[in-house]
């Protein structure tokens, strides 16, 4: 297809504003699938995504559209993951397009992710077409939302397209706007091949599938390609596009998007953002902006049943096949036994992996408190990246500790402003900006990530009754007055419960943890001391008094089968306990204690 008849675009939106519904409508209208094949939400391929309503992996679909000017256009629709954890993938997807359709729910208005996405689209020099969706709803206020788009985002909304993705109203106008208002891609068919590696995933039949956007030259079957950042060179064996069904085309030219396979088995060879070139006639320069994705949130994953360790290892391996940004390595904990230390792009990424392990692989897991990566400056001049609070070096050898900060954007109805400001202050936040658009407030705050990874998002949602939206980006590493808080049960440290906290919050948290554990650890035959300590200094203590536990006490008479049942039940309970010194701590106590942070 000639460059002037190609349009590459992304749909960007806050969660639930109707991105997938609009994409489906366009696919339906441009005939990529027949009615029988047209399932709901074809773009979200994983069950779990559909359920959570979150698109994890970017995908792209080629649509053929005959416009009012009589010409046929090749339109490549890029689906982008909406959540901040996948910000880098979003940014690479956007780099593959010339324009964005900005979907805003006309009954909700601009939300935090609307803004975050628009900023990213503008960073990629996108032309943006505002689209107001859900105008079929009685609560839709298109005029108010148009004004909001102009005030808050600063985009001209006078030509915003009004649609209902649900009823199909206005979809042809969106297609025409894409043809008329978005620029065609630029590229040189005769130049050395340069293509952007937008995404990759593992397919059990095809091996690694690579999603690409060709910038110059072409990619075709039989050609030996080289991935410049990873250095790997492979012969291309398939080239095609998704309509959304996979359709082999044999070649992709400049401006086009599609997929290739090349007998690649290991997804770590294909780095999102890498430049693909011709191995025979390689390009001298890479496309701009490549950066490998680095995990920023870490936690331990342990099987509740130690016998499941191998199964957990296999399952993690399978997930990592498809997700190059997920890292794991074996770890041993005195409290929890054998497990893995895992690295994630963010909290949501962590939750998704955890949920897939439990659901798809049928694992029962204990997750330790998530931790960020601290930079520990040692007195010998070295700097350690600390992923696990349990590995904190002796404080006498530490010069300073730095922690990551983020810049958060929060949008909310102003009646909740007071409590949300309080929450941000409690979490050591620094206000940068506070503005109003109608009855909604927009707050920009700097916050330490370690205060956000615990339960910030849950708290925010509950304080604002679900009306606040939240997004963040990386800011910087800063020195912090941080200490390791350890928990001891009868003088034995419980590594899985140690955390790194700000000194000012350490006593409160230590006391709360001790009180909670006192409730959670069942009484035993002897007295148990539960202590919280910073270094060797104990800052909180609770005592669990002794009790003789006799499960048969309630059993009068001689019904032996009933007695046996009770004894079996007790045995079952013991299996799920961890031995601490002599204290038995039930699994549920760990889980509850980890959750309370
Ligand atoms: P994520 O994939 O979670 O980011 O959401 P999304 O932006 O793709 O939204 P999705 O298309 O899943 O739509 C969210 C909800 O809004 C669904 O329940 C849709 O049925 C509904 N919806 C989408 N468009 C319209 C519309 O035009 N009118 C009405 N009334 N509902 C709509």
Q: Which atom of ligand 1 is found nearest the CA of 15?
A: 4
Query: Would you call 149 exposed, middle or buried from its count of C-beta atoms within 10 A (0-12, 13-18, 19+)?
Result: buried
The beta strand positions in 185-319, using DSSP E, are: 194-203, 207-216, 219-220, 224-227, 233-235, 238-242, 246-248, 251-252, 257-261, 275-278, 297-303
Q: How far is the CA of 134 from the centre of ligand 1 (A)?
A: 8
In angstroms, what CA-CA distances link 485 with 332, 494, 520? Answer: 19, 11, 19
Residue 515, Cα to own-chain centre: how many angstroms?
33
Give the DSSP H or E segment for 273.
Answer: none
Q: Which atom of ligand 1 is found nearest the CA of 82?
A: 4
For residues 594 and 368, the answer to whether their CB atoms sit within 8 Å is yes
In angstroms, what CA-CA distances link 72 with 5, 63, 171? Answer: 7, 10, 17
16 among the known binding-site residues? Answer: yes
Q: Round to whole Å and give the CA distance between 258 and 93.
A: 12
Q: How far is the CA of 168 from the centre of ligand 1 (A)?
A: 12
Query: Beta-carbon neighbour count of residue 229 at 10 Å?
Result: 18
Q: pTM for the complete prediction?
A: 0.74
Residue identifier of the C-alpha nearest atom 26 of ligand 1: 134
Q: Round to whole Å and give the CA distance between 232 and 216.
A: 20
Contacts of 232 (CB under 8 A, 6+ apart): 226, 264, 269, 270
438 among the known binding-site residues? Answer: no
For residues 487 and 590, the answer to whether their CB atoms sit within 8 Å is no
Question: For 230-245, b where at least 16 C-beta lie within 10 A, e where not — what string?
Answer: eebebebebbbbbbbe
DSSP string, 322-343: H-TT-EEEEEEETTTEEEEEEE
Residue identifier of the C-alpha nearest atom 13 of ligand 1: 18
Q: Round to whole Å and give the CA distance between 150 and 352.
A: 35
Contacts of 154 (CB under 8 A, 6+ apart): none
pLDDT tens per residue across all 597 residues of the chain: 889 999 999 999 888 899 989 998 998 888 665 555 555 555 555 555 545 444 445 478 899 999 999 999 999 998 776 666 677 777 788 899 999 999 999 999 988 878 878 888 988 899 999 999 999 999 999 999 999 999 888 899 999 999 999 999 999 999 999 999 999 999 999 999 999 998 888 887 788 899 999 999 999 999 999 999 889 999 999 999 888 778 889 999 999 999 999 999 888 889 888 999 999 999 999 998 777 777 888 888 989 888 999 999 999 988 888 787 888 999 888 777 899 999 988 777 888 888 889 888 999 888 887 889 999 999 999 999 998 888 899 888 999 999 999 988 888 888 999 999 999 999 999 999 998 877 788 899 999 998 888 678 778 888 888 778 887 778 899 999 999 999 888 888 888 788 899 999 899 889 988 888 888 887 777 788 899 999 889 999 998 887 655 555 555 555 666 666 666 665 555 555 566 666 667 666 666 666 654
Place of tokens 């939206």: 469
End-to-end CA distance of the chain: give it in Å, rounded. 56
ipTM of the complex as predicted: 0.97
Q: What is the pLDDT of residue 218?
A: 96
Residue identifier of the C-alpha nearest atom 4 of ligand 1: 15
Query: Beta-carbon neighbour count of residue 98 at 10 Å?
Result: 20
Q: What is the pLDDT of residue 597?
A: 45
Query: Beta-carbon neighbour count of residue 135 at 10 Å?
Result: 20
For residues 514 and 523, the answer to whether their CB atoms sit within 8 Å is no
21 among the known binding-site residues? Answer: yes
Before 244, cis peptide (omega within 30)?
yes
Conformation bin of residue 383: beta by default, left when phi > 0, alpha when psi is -120 to 50? beta
For residues 578 and 492, the answer to whether their CB atoms sit within 8 Å is no
Q: How far is the CA of 129 from the centre of ligand 1 (A)?
A: 18
Q: What is the pLDDT of residue 35?
A: 58
Q: Which atom of ligand 1 is found nearest the CA of 167?
A: 27
Q: How far is the CA of 40 from the centre of ligand 1 (A)?
A: 11
Residue identifier of the C-alpha nearest atom 3 of ligand 1: 53
230 among the known binding-site residues? Answer: no
Q: What is the pLDDT of residue 581?
A: 61
Task: Name residues contacting ligand 1 (CB within 6 A).
Answer: 13, 15-21, 53-55, 82, 133-134, 136-137, 164-166
Pocket test for ligand 1, best of 10, 17, 18 (most atoms within 8 A of CB): 18
Q: What is the pLDDT of residue 82?
A: 60
Q: How far is the CA of 78 from the centre of ligand 1 (A)?
A: 17
Pocket test for ligand 1, best of 12, 21, 51, 132 (most atoms within 8 A of CB): 21
Question: Which DSSP category does 169 fall into?
Answer: B
Q: How far is the CA of 515 from the centre of ligand 1 (A)?
A: 44
Residue identifier of the C-alpha nearest atom 15 of ligand 1: 16
Q: Which of 339, 410, 346, 392 is nearest to 372 (CA)?
A: 346
Give the DSSP H or E segment for 493.
Answer: strand 492-493
Q: How far is the CA of 435 from the centre of ligand 1 (A)?
A: 28
CA atoms within 13 A on the CB side of 214: 30
**398-413 and 440-448 beta bridge pairing:** antiparallel
Q: What is the pLDDT of residue 161?
A: 97
136 among the known binding-site residues? Answer: yes
Q: Where are the alpha helices (DSSP H) in 434-586?
A: 449-452, 456-463, 503-520, 560-575
Q: How far is the CA of 132 from the centre of ligand 1 (A)?
A: 12
């Amino acid at each position: 297809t000639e460059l002037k008849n190609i349009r590459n675009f992304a749909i960007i939106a806050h969660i639930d504003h109707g991105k997938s519904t609009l994409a489906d409508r366009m696919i339906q209208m441009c005939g990529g699938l027949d009615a029988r094949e047209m399932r709901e939400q074809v773009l979200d391929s994983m069950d779990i995504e559909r359920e959570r309503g979150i698109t994890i992996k970017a995908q792209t679909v080629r649509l053929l559209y005959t416009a009012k000017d009589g010409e046929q256009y090749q339109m490549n629709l890029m689906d982008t993951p909406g959540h901040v954890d996948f910000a880098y993938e979003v940014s690479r997807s956007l780099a593959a397009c010339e324009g964005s359709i900005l979907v805003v729910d006309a009954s909700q208005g601009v939300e935090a992710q609307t803004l975050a996405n628009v900023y990213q689209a503008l960073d990629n020099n996108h032309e943006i077409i505002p689209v107001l969706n859900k105008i079929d709803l009685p609560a839709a206020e298109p005029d108010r939302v148009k004004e909001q788009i102009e005030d808050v985002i600063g985009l001209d909304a006078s030509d915003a397209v009004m649609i209902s993705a649900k009823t199909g109203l206005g979809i042809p106008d969106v297609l025409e706007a894409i043809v008329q208002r978005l620029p065609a891609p630029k590229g040189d068919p005769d130049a050395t091949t340069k293509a952007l590696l937008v995404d990759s995933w593992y397919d059990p039949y095809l091996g690694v599938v690579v999603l690409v956007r060709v910038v110059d030259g072409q990619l075709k079957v039989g050609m030996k390609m080289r991935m410049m950042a990873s250095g790997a060179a492979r012969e291309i064996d398939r080239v095609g596009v998704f309509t959304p069904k996979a359709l082999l085309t044999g070649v992709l030219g400049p401006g086009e998007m599609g997929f290739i396979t090349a007998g690649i088995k290991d997804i770590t060879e294909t780095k999102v953002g890498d430049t693909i070139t011709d191995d025979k006639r390689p390009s001298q320069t890479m496309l701009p902006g490549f950066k490998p994705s680095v995990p920023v949130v870490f936690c331990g994953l342990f099987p509740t049943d130690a016998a499941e360790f191998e199964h957990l290892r296999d399952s993690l391996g399978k997930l990592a096949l498809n997700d190059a940004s997920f890292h794991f390595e074996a770890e041993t904990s005195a409290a929890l036994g054998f497990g893995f230390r895992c690295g994630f792009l963010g909290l949501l990424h962590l939750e998704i992996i955890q949920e897939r392990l439990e659901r798809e692989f049928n694992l029962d897991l204990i997750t330790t408190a998530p931790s960020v990566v601290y930079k520990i400056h040692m007195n010998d001049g070295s700097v350690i990246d600390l992923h696990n609070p349990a590995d904190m070096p002796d404080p006498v050898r530490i010069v300073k500790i730095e922690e990551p900060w983020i810049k958060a954007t929060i949008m909310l109805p102003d009646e909740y402003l007071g409590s949300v400001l309080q929450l941000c202050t409690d979490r050591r936040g620094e206000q940068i900006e506070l503005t109003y658009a109608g009855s909604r407030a927009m707050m920009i705050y700097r916050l330490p990530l370690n205060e956000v990874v615990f339960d910030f998002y849950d708290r925010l949602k509950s304080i604002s009754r679900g009306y606040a939206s939240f997004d963040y980006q990386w800011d910087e590493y800063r020195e912090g007055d941080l200490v390791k808080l350890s928990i001891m049960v009868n003088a034995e440290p419980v590594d899985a419960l140690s955390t790194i906290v700000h000194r000012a919050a350490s006593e409160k948290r230590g006391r709360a943890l001790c009180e909670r554990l006192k409730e959670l650890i069942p009484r035993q035959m002897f007295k148990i001391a539960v202590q919280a300590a910073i270094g060797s200094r104990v800052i909180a203590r609770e005592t669990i008094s002794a009790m003789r536990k006799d499960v048969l006490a309630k059993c009068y008479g001689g019904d032996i089968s009933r007695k046996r049942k009770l004894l079996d039940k007790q045995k079952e309970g013991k299996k799920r306990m961890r031995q601490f010194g002599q204290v038995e701590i039930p699994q549920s106590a760990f889980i509850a204690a980890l959750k309370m942070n």
